[in-house]
Amino acid sequence: MLETYNIGAPTERPPVLIAHGLFGSARNWGVIAKRMSERGRVVTVDMRNHGHSFRGAPHDYPAMAGDLAEVIENLGAQVDVIGHSMGGKAVMVLALTRPDLVRRVVVGDIAPVGYSHTQQGMIDAMRALDLSRVETRGDADRQLAEFVDDAGVRAFLLQSLDVKARAWRLNLDQLEADMAQVLGFPEISGTFEGPVLMLSGGASDYVLPEHRAAVKALFPAARFAKIPGAGHWLHAEKPREFEAACAAFLG
């Protein structure tokens, strides 16, 4: 089962389950989860092949949705789900295949479509690090800067580096092997009739007007909202605004 992190005490509200994106981990969501736990129980997970969760094939959305379903069944209650990017696709597949487990869905800056960009460059950059020369996170950052210009992206990737063990908490081989699955979206028949919030970054191009038909075909009750000035990592760039939008939608 996935590594899970429980914050807050159960209340009359459904628990909130948060699924992170590619190369992320539950710890990326620590601050938001802590603040949201003032309203009730919040559960964050390390997705398969990430963080402290198990390594395994395949790394595709039916498998990831199955992992999330197992976590929810162990909780013994219907949940609200929040997923960002890869995690957003996983919670969409979860809602479509196991609607009995899900009350409301927040999807962070991703659509149920295939994308043409690749994250292979990030995998290559992480592999290029000479971990034998890494004593501190600063050492790793200086090496990574040769391949990744953006300091924010480097900081995000380095959250998955265990400096002491000199190892990535990511199964880079499996993520590379299944990158086409991660970028795509499976063919699924049926719909999820419950409330869905498609929350995107105003400065991001991941959710476009031409994606609305695909969203509405699967999620007829979907609503769309944007966080002005936020890019793809909207929860990291505008955490208070992201949290407020989720709180208002989840009720």
Domain span(s) for CATH 3.40.50.1820 in the chain: 3-115+184-250
What's the mean per-residue pLDDT of the chain? 96
Q: Which of 20, 84, 232, 235 is catalytic?
A: 232
The CATH H-level superfamily of 3-115+184-250 is Alpha/Beta hydrolase fold, catalytic domain (3.40.50.1820)
> 12 is written with which tokens?
């009359």
Q: Is 67 a catalytic residue?
A: no
Query: What's the rounded mean pLDDT across residues 72-101?
Result: 97
Write the DSSP assignment of 62-107 as a string of letters.
HHHHHHHHHHHHHHTS-EEEEEETHHHHHHHHHHHH-GGGEEEEEE
**pLDDT tens-digit profile of 108-163?**
999 999 999 889 999 999 999 999 999 999 999 999 999 999 998 999 999 999 99
- Over 90: is that where the pLDDT of 31 sits? yes
In this prediction the pTM is 0.96
Query: What's the rounded mean pLDDT across residues 35-47?
Result: 96
Query: What's the rounded mean pLDDT across residues 230-249?
Result: 95
Query: What is the reported pLDDT for 13?
Result: 93
Q: Which of 124, 150, 162, 173 is catalytic?
A: 173
Q: Which of 25, 37, 53, 85 is catalytic?
A: 85
Q: Is 85 a catalytic residue?
A: yes
Query: What is the reported pLDDT for 52?
Result: 98
For residue 210, the tally of other CB atoms under 10 A from its CB is 9
Query: What is the reported pLDDT for 54?
Result: 98
| Coarse DSSP helix, strand, coil percentages of the chain, rounded to the nearest 5 percent | 40, 20, 40
Query: What is the reported pLDDT for 164?
Result: 95
Three-state DSSP class for 186?
coil
Q: Is 59 a catalytic residue?
A: no
In total, the chain counts a number of residues equal to 251
